[in-house]
Amino acid sequence: MSESSKRILIIHVVDIIMILLILLMKGFDKAINYCDAFFIAGLLMICFGGLSFVSNCGAFDIFGYSFKTVGTKLSGNPNKEYQNLSAYVESKKDRRLKEKFNFVPYLLVGGVTVFLSFIIKVLI
């Protein structure tokens, strides 16, 4: 099984778990609860996709570098893994190029789930 199919499978499983958790809280007895559960889970997946996109653009690099620096200081290791933030960002470039579209599965799964919520709403 390839890396992308594992990622899509995990995203589907997380989406289904979110739907079931919302249904457990709201109840399985009304059709509107299913509509709400699918919509909320789908919207959360779309938001996760947006965060994944922003992260892949490097918006959270400062936090990753800060945590690595603090971890190095707390461990007592005097040698820093990265000399500065620009070296840290440079080390992430290859991974980002390889995983350029890692946000697309979130958007697809979330979009399908939101679409299913609209179908449920129309059928009510």
pTM, two decimal places: 0.81
User: Mean per-residue pLDDT for 105-112?
Assistant: 93
Tens-place pLDDT, residues 3-32 = 778 888 999 999 999 999 999 999 888 889
Give dist(CA 93, CA 111) in Å, integer: 29
CA 54 to each of CA 29, 51, 78, 85: distance values in angstroms, whole numbers, following the listed order: 38, 5, 32, 18
Tens-place pLDDT, residues 87-99 = 878 888 878 888 7
Residue 58: HSE in the Cβ half-sphere, 13 Å Cα cutoff: 12
